[in-house]
Amino acid sequence: METKLFTNTIMVNSGTQTVETLLENVQNILKWDYEIVEVTPIGAHKFKLYRKHGALNQQEIIKVEVGRNEVSYVSTMGKVEYRVVWTIDEVNATQTSLSQTLYLEKSVLTSLAKVISSVVQNAFAGNLQVLKHLCELEEVA
């Protein structure tokens, strides 16, 4: 069972295909989440992520699930297991609404996460801002 922690939304000045392509390839996370230092493919749509020391999940397994207008990162094997759902909505041919929603799996740390959710949400929002700029640069290239 999981708990929804928050949703961040941002407008991106690029088409939906650019956003989807960047999110579907988890290797791209190295370009927009500076806490992640290594991504190793371990199977079809599965990756092992390594973070800087001091992160709650220093290592975890991410499985990428792709649906219609949606990409999900399902994290397991870390201290905190979670799912990030990226919702990709076309506004027009050159503008996309991108939302990230964080769901936590029930664990001992869930109550702690709710207490610090605003800090976590701000950190995710910062990464979302970097992802926005990366998408816009890819659109120009």
Express each pLDDT in 22-75 by its tens digit: 999 999 999 999 999 999 999 999 999 999 888 888 999 999 999 999 999 999
Q: Is the pLDDT of residue 77 over 80?
A: yes
CA dist 11 and 88 (Å) reads 10
Domain annotation for the chain: domains and CATH numbers:
2-110 (3.30.530.20)
- Nearest residue to 82 via CA among 68, 67, 62, 99: 62
CA R_g for the chain = 15
**Do 61 and 47 touch, CB atoms closer than 8 A?**
yes
Q: How many CB atoms lie within 10 A of CB 121?
A: 16
Express each pLDDT in 92-118 by its tens digit: 999 999 999 999 887 666 677 677 788
